[in-house]
Amino acid sequence: MVKKEIINFKEHTDGRGSLIALEYPKQIPIEIKRIYYIYNVKKDTPRGFHSHKDLNQILIAISGCVKVKISDSYDEEIITLDSNDKGLLIGPMIWREMFDFSEDAVLLVLADHEYDESDYIRDYDEFIQLGREYWKK
């Protein structure tokens, strides 16, 4: 059961520049079914404010910097994503809020399921109740 994990990606650099290759299952521990990215976020505009019942995601700051507050319904943690050679793996039943986006931030999200609105928990009080039941297992 994955709550969260920082994944470090291997960067290949030479005189031509740098490259990071992401392959399943070598560097990416989840099979990717959906990819999207968030950019041009206005100053002081937070994103997220939800959890997923089954979805696993990897968040990567391809450019710039973003902070991610996560909660398992008991504990909270703030993680700064500011390097394109690391990703934040977030498992099911973890609340996430992304905030403090730098002006040049591009946040890439890799997900192991296609979009499914029924997988979302958007009410924080409901998340707390369901999360505490989930993590008791």
Using H for helix, E for strand and C for coil, what is the string for 78-128? Answer: EEEECCCCEEEEECCCCEEEEECCCCCCEEEEEECCCCCHHHEECCHHHHH
Residue 22 token pair: 């992401």
At residue 59, what is the residue type? L
Rounded CA-CA distance 123/121 in Å is 6
Q: Return all residues near 136 (Cβ < 8 A) that are at least 6 apart.
A: none
Residue 50: active-site member:
yes
pLDDT at 60: 98
Which secondary structure element, helix H or strand E, spans residue 59, and what is its range? strand 57-63
Which residue numbers in the chain have pLDDT < 70? 1-2, 137
DSSP 27: T
pLDDT at 137: 66
Q: Which of 12, 50, 52, 113 is catalytic?
A: 50
- Any idea which residue has 């990416």 for tokens? 28
Q: What are phi and psi of 79, to 5 degrees?
A: -120, 130
